Amino acid sequence: MNPFEKPTNPSHWLKHYDVKRFEKSGQNTLELLTHYLKLSHSQELEFVLPSDDPNSRLELWRKEMSQGSDELNGLIRNDLMPRVLERSNHLHDPRYAGHQVAVPLPELAWISAASALINNGMAIDEMGPASSPMEEAVMRSIAQFMGLGDDASGILCHGGTLANLTALLAARQCQSESDEWSKGTSESYAVLVSEQAHYCVDRAVRVMGWGEQGTIHVPVDRQHRIRPEALDDAFTKAERKGLKVLSVVGSACTTSSGAFDDLNALADFAQSKDLWFHVDGAHAAAQIFSKRHANALHGLHRADSVAMDFHKMLGVPALCTGLFYRRSQDAYSAFSQRADYLYEQGEQDEWWNLSKRTFECTKRMLSVAVFGIWEQHGPRLWESLVDQLVGNAQIFAANVEKRPGWQLFGAPQSNIVCFRSTIWDNSLLRRLMLERGPHYIVKTEFNGETWLRCTFQNPFTTEEISTSILTRLEALGAEWESLQNSAQ
C-alpha cells in the first residue's frame, strides 16, 4: 500500500504519550523490578546465567517476535519485560562473580529513567543546561581528588574503550610535531603498553591508523606487571624500526588477572623520554577512593590522563566512564572541529559545549548519577563499596590457597581472582558450571593454560557463597569423573 494514500492515525502514538499511562506503567515496572531484586538477592533464581546456547536463544526470541504484534493497546506487550528479566544474566544475585560490570546501586535506575525521560542530549550546553555544568563541576572535583592537580578536569563518556581512544587521540595531538588532526596521521607512531593490557588499547592504536606495529607490548613479570627495566629496550627497538613512541600506557589493573603496573616507574620513564603517560584505570582507578586499597595506584597522580569506569567497581549503571586530564586544556586536543550549526565560537574552547571534548555528539546524561553520589557522600560510599569488593576477593583467595586441589594465580590487589584446579580440566569445570550453575564465573588463559576467574562485583557475596563456588566445582568435577568411569 502506498503510505501516502491514507493518513496514519495519530491515536497510534498519541496514547503512548499519555501521562496516566506513564504513571500506571511506572507502577507496574516498579513492582516487577522490586520483585526481581528480591528474588535475585535471596538467590531464588535457579541460575545466575540461563544456560542455553546463543542459537537456541535467537530461535526463541524469533518465535517471541512473531507473537508480539497482536496486542495493540500497550507500547510493549505486558509479558516482554518479565521475559527479559528471566532470561538475562542476574548480576544482583550474590552468586554472580563473572565479568567486570557493576551490580548497580538499585536507586540509580530511577536516575537513568529520569534521564531517559528528559533526554537532554548533552552535545552542547543548550541541550544539557543542568547536566553539562554538573559534569564540569563533578569531573573537576574528582580529578583533583585523584591528585592530578589544580588544573585537572575531565569528561564523561560511554565506556573505557572510548575513553582510552580519546586519551590517545589527545596524546597524539599534544605529542606529535605536526598537526595530525588536520593533516592526517603518519603510520610511524607507537604506544608502549603491557602485553597483558586490555585489547582496546591496541584497537585504539589501529583506529588511529598506526597498524599492528603501533602497539609495542612490553613484557611483564610473573604477576603480570610491566617489567620497568624492559621499557628502555622496547623503546630503543621501536626507534630502531623508525617508530616514534608518543605514549606509555599503564594498566590499573589488567583485565585478566587484576595486575597493577608500577605507575611511578612508568611515570619516571615517561618523564625521561618526554612521553604522554596515560593510565587505563577502567577497572581499578576506582580504588583511589579507598584508603585501604589506593596503594596499588601509587603514581596515578603523575598521569597526563586517566580513564576510570564508574560502571565497574562503583555501582553506577553502564556505561559511564570518566576520562581525566592533568591539564584541562589537553582535552580539547583530541578533537577540534567547526560545526556552525552547533557551536557559537567554532574553534575556541568552551567547557559548556561538551562534545568539543567527546567522541560522542549526543550522549546520555551521565553526570547526574556521578554528581548525585559525589555531592552526597564524597568518597565514602565508593570507598566502602571498593573495600567490600576487594575484601570479598581476598577472602575467596585465602580459601583457594588453603584448600587442597586448588592453585591461586596470585594474591588479589583488586576484586579479580584467578585460580585453577590441579585435579580437573579447568575449561571443563567452567563449561559444567555454565551449563548447570548456579554460580557464574568466567575463565582466562595464560601461556596457553586455562585459569578460572572470578570478579567479585556483588557486595553481597558472602564467604559462604564464595566457598560454595569451590565446593560446586569440586562436585561437578567429581560427578563428571564418575560418569566417565561408569561409561568405561
Binding site for ligand PLP (CB under 6 A): 100, 159-161, 198, 200, 251, 255, 280, 282-283, 309, 319, 321
CB of 256 to ligand PLP, least distance (A): 9
CB of 200 to ligand PLP, least distance (A): 5
Contacts of 165 (CB under 8 A, 6+ apart): 200, 203, 204, 207, 208, 359
Distance CA 82, CA 93 (A): 17
- Pick between residue 306 and residue 433 the one whose CB is nearest to ligand PLP: 306
CB of 193 to ligand PLP, least distance (A): 11
- Pick between residue 202 and residue 350 the one whose CB is nearest to ligand PLP: 202
- Pick between residue 282 and residue 429 the one whose CB is nearest to ligand PLP: 282
- Pick between residue 255 and residue 394 the one whose CB is nearest to ligand PLP: 255
And the C-alpha cell for 376? 552526597
- Pick between residue 200 and residue 393 the one whose CB is nearest to ligand PLP: 200
CB of 263 to ligand PLP, least distance (A): 14
CB of 160 to ligand PLP, least distance (A): 3
Contacts of 232 (CB under 8 A, 6+ apart): 269
- Pick between residue 180 and residue 304 the one whose CB is nearest to ligand PLP: 304
Return the SS3 of 461.
coil
Place of cell 578536569: 153
Report the half-sphere exposure of 174 (CA within 13 A, side-chain side): 24
Distance CA 44, CA 325 (A): 45
CB of 71 to ligand PLP, least distance (A): 36
CB 445 within 8 A of CB 378: no
Q: Which residues of 195-226 are buried (b: 16+ CB within 10 A; e: fewer)?
A: ebbbebbbebbeebebeeebbbbbebeeebbb
CB of 233 to ligand PLP, least distance (A): 24
Which residue type occupies 154?
Answer: G
Distance CA 88, CA 145 (A): 37
CB of 291 to ligand PLP, least distance (A): 23
Taking CB positions, which residue lies at the least distance from ligand PLP?
Answer: 160
Pairing state between β 406-408 and 321-325: unpaired
And the C-alpha cell for 285? 582507578
- Pick between residue 309 and residue 330 the one whose CB is nearest to ligand PLP: 309
Contacts of 107 (CB under 8 A, 6+ apart): none
- Pick between residue 101 and residue 105 the one whose CB is nearest to ligand PLP: 101
